[in-house]
C-alpha cells in the first residue's frame, strides 16, 4: 500500500493527486470532505488486474479513433489516469488523503501548509558502506518547507564527504562541494557509513533592492523585472505558445489566474498600487485584481481594496506596513488565446 500527494500550489488553486493501490480515496481539507474518488479495475494485456480511472487524458493526438480520441489508449481500448485528482481552492491548513477498502480506512497521508523555514532536520539511510543523509528544511513545527532554496553546508566528522546533490537536474553546483542549495526543500550528502554529519542553513540573502516575482512567465522576454524597469513598452506576461509535438497539438490557452509580487529590503507603509496592463491580440485587462500583503508568515488580503480593473488602474487600500505585496489577477477569458495577462509597469 503506497499513498502520496502531488501538490501544485499556485497560492489559490491546488491540484491534489493521490496515488494508491487501494480503489477509493477521500480527500479532506481542514476536516471538510472534498469527496471520494475511485479507480476502475482493469486488466492488462497479459491478464493482470490494475487500477486506472476511466476518462480522456488528452495526451496523445495521434489517437484519432475509438472512444477517447486524443488520449493515450490503455489496454483493451480504454483511457484514464493512474492517479486520482481533485482541484482544491487553496487555503492554509491540512490536506488529508484517506485510502479506503470496503469503506474502512487502510492508509492516510497528510500535507500541511508550511510556515517560515527555520531549521534543518537530518535523516539517514545506510546502504552497505555508504550513508545517504537527507537534509530537510522545516518550519518551527517541523513541517517540511517545499519552497525552501536555502544554501546548506554539510560538516562531516569521522570520514570524508563523498558528494552532495539536491535532485535538481539543471543545477550547475559541484557534486563534491560541502555546500548545496536546497531544492524542493531538500539536499543530500553521501558519506561513509559511521561518519557523523551536521548541516547548517544560511539565511536567505535579503534583497538589497526592490525585487519582483511571478507565479509564471510565458517567455524569456516577458520576465517580472519588466514591471519595474520604467519602460511601459516592456511587460511581464503569462502569454505562451507551446509548439505542436508528435503527440500533442500546439497550445496557447490563458491561465485562469496568476500572481505577481514585489518586495523591498525594509518594510514600508503602502496604501496603493498602480498597474498598466497589456491590451492586444493576446492580452486583455484582468477580470479581477486582489492585493495581499506579507504578514511574516503568509500573504493575507489587504482591507478596504478599491479600484476596478482597467488598462491603467490605481488600486487603493487601508495603509499597511510590509516588505512584500502580491497581486493576484484572474483572466477575463480563461482558456482562450486572447485572455493572457501582461503588466507593463507596477508602481507602489
Binding site for Ca ion (CB under 5 A): 226, 229, 231, 234, 344
Q: Which residue, 47 or 230, has its beta carbon nearer to Ca ion? A: 230
Shortest Cβ 115–Ca ion spacing (Å) = 34
Shortest Cβ 340–Ca ion spacing (Å) = 16
Q: Which residue, 53 or 226, has its beta carbon nearer to Ca ion? A: 226
HEC letters along the chain? CCCEEEEEECCCEEEEEEECCCCEEEEEECCEEEEEEECEEEECCCCCEEEECCCCCCCCCCCCCCCCCCCCCEHHHECCCCCEEEEEECCCCEEEEEEEECCEEEEEEEEECCCCCCEEEEEEEEECCEEEEEEEEECCCCCECCCCCCEEEEEEECCCCCEEECCCCCCCCCCCCCEEECECCEEEEEEECCCEEEEEECCCCCCCCCEEEECCCCCCCCCHHHHHCCCCCCCEECCCCECCCCCCCCECCCCCEEEEEEEEEEEEEEEEEEEEECCCCCECCCCEEEEEEECCCCEEECCCCECCCCCEEEEEEEEEEEEEEEEEEECCCCCCCCCECEEEEEEC
Shortest Cβ 232–Ca ion spacing (Å) = 6
Q: Which residue, 305 or 313, has its beta carbon nearer to Ca ion? A: 313
Closest-by-Cβ residue to Ca ion is 234
Q: Which residue, 138 or 341, has its beta carbon nearer to Ca ion? A: 341
Shortest Cβ 226–Ca ion spacing (Å) = 4
Shortest Cβ 219–Ca ion spacing (Å) = 15
Amino acid at each position: 500500500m503506497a499513498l502520496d500527494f502531488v501538490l501544485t500550489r499556485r497560492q489559490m488553486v491546488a491540484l491534489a493527486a493521490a496515488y494508491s493501490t487501494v480503489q477509493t480515496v477521500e480527500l479532506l481539507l481542514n476536516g471538510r470532505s472534498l469527496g471520494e474518488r475511485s479507480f476502475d479495475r482493469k486488466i492488462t494485456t497479459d491478464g493482470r488486474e490494475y487500477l486506472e480511472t476511466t476518462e480522456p487524458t488528452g495526451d496523445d493526438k495521434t489517437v484519432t479513433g475509438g472512444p477517447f480520441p486524443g488520449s493515450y489508449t490503455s489496454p483493451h481500448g480504454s483511457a484514464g489516469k493512474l492517479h486520482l485528482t481533485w482541484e482544491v481552492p487553496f487555503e492554509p491548513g491540512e490536506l488529508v488523503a484517506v485510502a479506503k477498502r470496503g469503506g474502512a480506512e487502510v492508509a492516510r497521508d497528510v500535507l500541511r501548509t508550511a510556515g517560515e523555514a527555520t531549521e534543518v532536520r537530518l535523516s539517514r539511510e545506510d546502504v552497505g558502506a555508504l550513508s545517504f543523509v537527507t537534509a530537510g528544511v522545516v518550519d518551527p513545527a517541523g513541517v517540511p518547507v517545499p519552497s525552501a532554496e536555502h544554501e546548506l553546508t554539510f560538516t562531516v566528522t569521522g570520514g570524508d564527504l563523498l558528494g552532495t546533490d539536491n535532485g535538481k537536474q539543471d543545477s550547475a553546483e559541484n557534486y563534491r562541494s560541502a555546500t548545496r542549495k536546497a531544492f524542493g526543500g531538500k539536499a543530500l550528502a553521501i558519506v561513509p557509513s559511521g561518519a557523523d554529519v551536521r548541516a547548517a542553513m544560511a539565511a536567505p540573502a535579503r534583497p538589497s533592492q526592490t525585487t519582483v516575482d511571478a507565479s509564471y512567465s510565458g517567455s524569456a522576454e516577458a520576465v517580472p523585472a519588466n514591471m519595474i524597469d520604467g519602460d511601459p513598452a516592456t511587460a511581464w506576461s503569462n502569454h505562451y505558445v507551446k509548439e505542436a509535438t508528435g503527440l500533442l497539438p500546439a497550445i496557447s490557452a490563458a491561465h485562469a489566474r496568476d500572481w505577481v509580487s514585489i518586495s523591498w529590503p525594509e518594510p514600508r507603509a503602502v496604501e496603493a498600487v498602480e498597474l498598466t496592463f497589456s491590451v492586444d491580440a493576446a492580452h486583455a485587462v484582468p477580470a479581477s485584481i486582489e492585493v495581499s500583503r506579507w504578514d511574516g508568515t503568509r500573504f493575507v488580503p489587504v482591507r478596504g481594496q478599491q479600484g476596478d480593473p482597467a488598462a491603467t488602474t490605481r488600486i487603493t487600500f487601508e495603509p499597511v506596513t510590509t516588505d512584500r505585496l502580491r497581486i493576484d489577477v484572474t483572466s477575463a477569458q480563461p482558456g482562450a488565446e486572447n485572455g493572457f495577462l501582461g503588466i507593463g509597469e507596477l508602481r507602489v
